[in-house]
Amino acid sequence: MIRDDQDYMLWDTGLPAGLLGAKLDPNAVLAPTLAKDIPTQLAEIGVKPEQITRLGISHNHFDHVGRQSHFRRQRC
């Protein structure tokens, strides 16, 4: 997250919330799991999702855009 005065920009939005607590599959090529989602992590530092006014997405892979619909956005 980048802060400029009261303007917050989030860089990438992480894994989809559906992966919260997902079990690891030792036989899978990819077995992503998530202990905390982005809104929870933001809350831990005192930032509400509605305070994020801008998103920066590095690239369009599931592990970078998983929660983008959760945020109100402006193009950066």
Q: Please, what are the averages of pLDDT over each run of 10 residues along the chain (76 residues)?
A: 85 89 89 90 92 89 83 58
pTM above 0.85, yes or no: no
Q: Helix, strand, coil proportions of the chain in percent (round to 5)?
A: 25, 20, 55
* Per-residue pLDDT, 45: 94
pLDDT of the residue at 27: 92
Look up residue 68 and give its amino acid: Q
Q: How far apart are CA 29 and CA 26, in angstroms?
A: 8
Q: What pLDDT is stored for residue 73 in this prediction?
A: 56
